[in-house]
Amino acid sequence: MNQEFLYIIMIIVFGYLLKRLNILQEKDGEVISKIIFKITLPALVLVTFDSVKIETSLIFLPVIVLIYGLITAFLGFLVFKNEERELKGSLLMLSSGFNVGLFAFPLVFAIWGMEGLTHFSMFDVGTSFIVFGIAYIIGSYFSKEGLSLKPIDILKKLGKSIPLMTYIIASTLNFSNIQLPATLINVASTISAANIPLSLLLLGLYLNFKFEKQFIKPVLKFLTFRYSLGLSVGLALYFILPYDQMFRYTIMIGLLLPVAASALVFAVEFKYSTSATRLIATISNITILISIVILYIFANFIL
């Protein structure tokens, strides 16, 4: 397992070096992320759901994640109620969502293989509804222009999420015992092989170790809120839930994953200030590093 993590870290560092050497730039990450979320990740989902049998209990994973997202949003309003409007919006957008497809899949596959991918794919279904529903509404509400959304806008946003639609279609086919043609799965399998290295390169490309002093207080407050809540709820559910160990591992680890990368996209869409977008990027980088350490400790000292 140490060797697997070493390879993962090496690819992330390689992506970071490509940026430092000006071979690639952060703006190139936009193209890579589109390839991941619109092509390689959906292909991986199709292959994963086609090769395993999804237990009925897994339906509760996205439900639990969605409920947790709602609770987190409510508590976030209380914790960050005294913050300036735009800062509050930024922190609340970051509070509920998780970076599953980009960050977790490579590490999860290294630890648990296809079984882990299946569980975390179902976890990501709930995350998608949180990110494109709850976080999107919150981000819009606290923007300078204020909330200008209608239910149909949210549905359109969810419908345009290729990973989410792929999850829904693939899980429906699985529960219906309908298998896709072998040729399609073979092609998808070949494409999906690029998902892990591309995801890790992208993480390295977006890594930034610059830290502005004015961010110290809000960052510490956010990290304390996010990880204390995630750890306490995750541990509680691990011991309370009556499901198998992989299900409970998914909840416990999932609630400690990095913030969703989409928060930065939403901040730009809602015309948040440059300071707010830098804060979001800083928190995203810090949570990635924290979660790598958490998964390393979990894989080597707990499993």
The domain segmentation of the chain, as residue ranges, is: 2-302
Q: Please write down the long-range contacts of 255-258, taking CB distance under 8 Å and 24 or more positions apart.
A: 255/68, 255/98, 255/230, 255/231, 256/227, 256/230, 256/231, 256/291, 256/294, 257/98, 257/99, 257/100, 257/103, 257/104, 257/287, 257/291, 258/98, 258/99, 258/103, 258/284, 258/287, 258/288, 258/290, 258/291
Q: What is the pLDDT of residues 219-237, one digit of tens each?
A: 999 999 999 999 999 999 9
Residue 232: what pLDDT?
Answer: 96
Residue 259: what pLDDT?
Answer: 92
Is the pLDDT at 70 greater than 90? The verdict is yes
- How far, in Å, are 62, 121, 246, 281 from residue 127 at the CA level? 7, 10, 18, 19
- Considering the domain 2-302 in this protein, what is its CATH number? 1.20.1530.20
Separation CA 147–CA 135 (nearest Å): 12
Q: What is the pLDDT of residues 165-179, one digit of tens each?
A: 888 898 889 888 888
Separation CA 184–CA 214 (nearest Å): 51
Separation CA 211–CA 203 (nearest Å): 17
Q: Return the sign of the alpha-carbon dihedral for residues 87, 88, 91, 97.
A: negative
Separation CA 191–CA 189 (nearest Å): 5
Q: What is the pLDDT of residues 111-138, one digit of tens each?
A: 888 889 899 989 988 998 888 888 888 8
Q: Return the sign of the alpha-carbon dihedral for residues 195, 196, 202, 205.
A: negative
Confidence of residue 147 (pLDDT cuts 50, 70, 90): low
Higher-confidence residue of 156 and 93: namely 93
Is the pLDDT at 142 greater than 90? The verdict is no
